[in-house]
Chain A
Amino acid sequence: MKIEFVLYASLTQFVSGSVAGKPITLEIPDKATVNHVLHMMAIPSDMALILLINGRSGTKEHELSEGDRLAIFPPIAGG
């Protein structure tokens, strides 16, 4: 299945050629989890990542569906 995948801030360093906020389409196995995608994209899964799936907060165990948008941020804050 296909999902939309987008990285922000310092995470772009892990995926060659990626640009913060510019989504790419990923082909992943059916029932793949966020963890699976992190592994596939060589993003360190031990970081306290902020995960948003279709704009909603998610976990690394979340099972993705066709057409989902997975956005990943490093630990950040402001205000």
Chain B
Amino acid sequence: MEKILRVDMGAEGGPKTTLVPPGEYAGLGGRALTSAIVSKEVPPLCHALGEENKLVIAPGLLSGTIAANSGRLSVGCKSPLTGGIKESNAGGMASQTLAKLGYAAIVLEGKPKTDNLYTIFVNKGGVKIESDNTLKGLGNYALIEKLKAKYGDKVSYMSIGPAGEMKLAAASIACTDMECRPTRHAGRGGTGAVMGSKGVKAIILDDTGVSMRPPKDAEKFKEANKRWVDGLKKHPVTGEGLAAYGTNVLTNILNEAGGYPTHNFMWGRFEGHTKISGETEAALEKERGGNPTHGCHRGCVMRCSGIYNDKYGNYLTKQPEYETVWAHGGNCGIDDLDTIAMLDRLDDDYGVDTIEMGATIGVAMEAGLAKFGDGEAAINFVKQVGKGTNLGRILGSGAAVTGKVFGVERVPVVKNQAMPAYDPRAVQGIGVTYATSPMGADHTAGYAVGSNILGIGGKTDALSPEGQVDLSRNLQIATAAVDSTGMCLFIAFAVLDQPETFQALIDMINAFYGLNLNGDDVAALGKSVLKNEREFNIKAGFTSAHDRLPGFFSRDALPPHNIKFKVTDAELDQVFNW
């Protein structure tokens, strides 16, 4: 990945491309690269939708290679949702394709001087940017169908739906999957709004005639990858559990543990949990000719994604993930999988983050705009976002804005970003991550659920504040490093439990780049990423007061354990003290 493509969307006479070597960013990939560029080049106090913000799209260090599960993409910018730095991580085919084409990153800069919408086409021959206003207002599914007529289905697409064009703070960027459907999203933090602000509707990546990236030491790399695949296949979670039921297997366990946020974080258990569980979802998919065992990108051996068909056996959407099923399910009191799948389809089509959207609907229901459990109302809410009605634009701006507009106190956000599917009172470790991650409330930033609930990477008491700060700190450091490799975060389940699998990952990086890194170097990389991100946020006006959960988590006890969030402010302030 020897070059960075910079596209000035605000240049006189239309978008202008520049190809530059990585320079000071050489050796960085994924989140390390997006956060380095954003923290160095974007003024922290700028408007997220203004000309000074940049959208950075970067494959990971091992993307575009034969390394298993190396196809995750990082998308970075100043977030219009949080006002802080953002790295949103997506599966799909874009990362592998972009890396194979030799790009360390695409950076969208400036602000268009017209209302034109553009497509950016990249192949081995170069870059072509075209204005195409016939694409305006198209949902991601219709858009990709239209683009396929021109570019075919052997390329990768990144795109925004109407929500991104409207520059709504919950807008996502869709990446097409192996079936060329727009199902894998850089969902969190409003990256789609930033792409919309740059006037870019779609990026088309065509790797025709391009080979896999060659390692420095091919033999060592191949051998390390074999150990890597063996390690992933050997671990019961990455080898079997994820493939059988997908991520939604968590519904029952979080519910049983009393940490399943229900009715906008009112309770920790949901009566209808078995109706929407991973077990039920997988069985339904099989029954209807879908598929519960499917990789979101080429080279995935864990295969936790899937295909969800409607009751007539026709494709409806990808298998809704645990977070999506929760956000639109228990969080809104909805216990019908077809309703949840339709909401997932609409979210993907309009291009909004499923977590933010579900949490927002929960807040809207709390405000009395609809009753909890009303699936039709939930579908109507999302359709209003797609249409851009006044209410839709409020909802599409996320849970925090919706809570303010409708006078709701119980709004589950940190740094204005909605919490995912674990109540921090019953899973105290994830509460520390929610509070302190530079990203806002984000379970992937330091997945303490593994140790708190699942017994992975050690065991900590989910209901006690004891040890949670150390746990979250270590996980946030490790995650920042993993997010820089292009590896799917789920590899952590095997890496945390099997030292030899962690070593195989390091050996792959060393063999590929001709390096001699060890575990300490990986930790140092993670710390440097977090340091860049923290410094950006501090300059953007964030203080320790922003590293807190909303007050109701410390005030209101959560049934069934009747427990409050007990990690103190002083302890939270120690997370980044290493």
**Residues of B close to A79: CB separation below 8 A:** 247, 250, 322-323, 443-444, 447, 449, 489-490
| A75 adjacent to B236 (CB under 8 Å) | yes
- Which of the candidate stretches B11-19, B64-72, B149-157, B450-458 sits at the interface with the other chain? B450-458
| A22 adjacent to B274 (CB under 8 Å) | yes
**With A57-B453, A57-B461, A57-B462 as contacts: A77 and B252 at CB distance below 8 Å:** no
**B493 interface residue, CB < 8 Å from A?**
yes
- Residues of B within 8 A of A (CB-CB), count: 45
B253 contacts which of A22, A47, A56, A76 (Cβ < 8 Å)?
A: A76
A78 contacts which of B247, B257, B462, B560 (Cβ < 8 Å)?
A: B247
| B454 adjacent to A76 (CB under 8 Å) | yes
| B257 adjacent to A52 (CB under 8 Å) | yes
CA distance A20 to B280 in the complex (A): 9
CA distance A71 to B258 in the complex (A): 12
| B463 adjacent to A56 (CB under 8 Å) | yes
Give the residues from 1 to 44 in chain A that come closer than 8 angstroms, CB to CB, to chain B. Answer: 6, 8-10, 20-22
Main secondary structure of the interface of A (DSSP, over half): loop
CA distance A57 to B455 in the complex (A): 9
| B454 adjacent to A50 (CB under 8 Å) | yes
**Residues of B close to A6: CB separation below 8 A:** 256
Query: Shortest distance in angstroms between B453's beta carbon and chain A's nearest beta carbon?
Result: 7
**Residues of B close to A20: CB separation below 8 A:** 252, 274, 277, 279-280
**B246 interface residue, CB < 8 Å from A?**
yes
Interface string of A49-66 (1 = CB under 8 A from B): 010100111000000000
Which residue of chain B is the closest to A22 with respect to CB atoms? B274
**Residues of A close to B257: CB separation below 8 A:** 52, 55-57
Query: Shortest distance in angstroms between B442's beta carbon and chain A's nearest beta carbon?
Result: 11
**B245 interface residue, CB < 8 Å from A?**
yes
**Residues of A close to B322: CB separation below 8 A:** 78-79
**Residues of B close to A48: CB separation below 8 A:** 236, 455
**B40 interface residue, CB < 8 Å from A?**
no
Query: Shortest distance in angstroms between A72's beta carbon and chain B's nearest beta carbon?
Result: 10
CA distance A21 to B281 in the complex (A): 14
**Residues of A close to B461: CB separation below 8 A:** 57
CA distance A6 to B456 in the complex (A): 22
**With A10-B244, A76-B241, A79-B447 as contacts: A55 and B249 at CB distance below 8 Å:** no
CA distance A40 to B60 in the complex (A): 49
**Residues of B close to A76: CB separation below 8 A:** 237, 241-242, 245, 249-250, 253, 454
Which residue of chain B is the closest to A73 with respect to CB atoms? B253
**Residues of B close to A50: CB separation below 8 A:** 253, 453-455
**With A9-B245, A71-B256 as contacts: A77 and B237 at CB distance below 8 Å:** yes
Query: Shortest distance in angstroms between B337's beta carbon and chain A's nearest beta carbon?
Result: 14
Which residue of chain A is the closest to B248 with respect to CB atoms? A78
| A57 adjacent to B250 (CB under 8 Å) | no
CA distance A20 to B560 in the complex (A): 21
- Residues of A within 8 A of B (CB-CB), count: 22
| B236 adjacent to A73 (CB under 8 Å) | no
Interface string of B321-334 (1 = CB under 8 A from A): 11100000000000
**B561 interface residue, CB < 8 Å from A?**
yes
| B279 adjacent to A55 (CB under 8 Å) | no
**B47 interface residue, CB < 8 Å from A?**
no
Query: Shortest distance in angstroms between A7's beta carbon and chain B's nearest beta carbon?
Result: 10
Query: Shortest distance in angstroms between B376's beta carbon and chain A's nearest beta carbon?
Result: 26
Which residue of chain A is the closest to B259 with respect to CB atoms? A55
| A77 adjacent to B241 (CB under 8 Å) | yes
**Residues of A close to B449: CB separation below 8 A:** 79
Give the residues from 170 to 187 in chain B that come closer than 8 angstroms, CB to CB, to chain A. Answer: none
| B490 adjacent to A77 (CB under 8 Å) | yes
**Residues of A close to B205: CB separation below 8 A:** none
In this complex, which of A21, A74, A79 has the most chain B Cβ atoms within 10 angstroms of its Cβ?
A79
| A21 adjacent to B248 (CB under 8 Å) | no
Which residue of chain A is the closest to B426 with respect to CB atoms? A55
In this complex, which of B241, B277, B323, B489 has the most chain A Cβ atoms within 10 angstroms of its Cβ?
B241
CA distance A7 to B459 in the complex (A): 21
| A78 adjacent to B250 (CB under 8 Å) | yes
Task: Identify the 6 closest CB pairs spanning chains A and B, nearest first.
Answer: A78-B247, A75-B236, A21-B274, A76-B241, A78-B250, A55-B258
Instruction: Identify 6 new A-B residue pairs, CB closer than 8 A, beyond the known A56-B561, A76-B242.
Output: A50-B453, A56-B257, A56-B463, A78-B242, A78-B247, A78-B321
Residue numbers of B with Cβ under 8 A of A are 236-237, 240-242, 244-250, 252-253, 256-258, 273-274, 277-280, 304, 321-323, 443-444, 447, 449-450, 453-456, 459, 461-463, 489-490, 493, 560-561
A-B contact pairs, 24 of them (CB 8 A): A8-B256, A9-B245, A9-B279, A10-B240, A20-B279, A20-B280, A21-B252, A21-B279, A52-B256, A52-B257, A55-B258, A55-B561, A73-B252, A73-B253, A75-B237, A76-B237, A76-B250, A76-B454, A77-B454, A77-B456, A77-B493, A78-B321, A78-B322, A79-B444
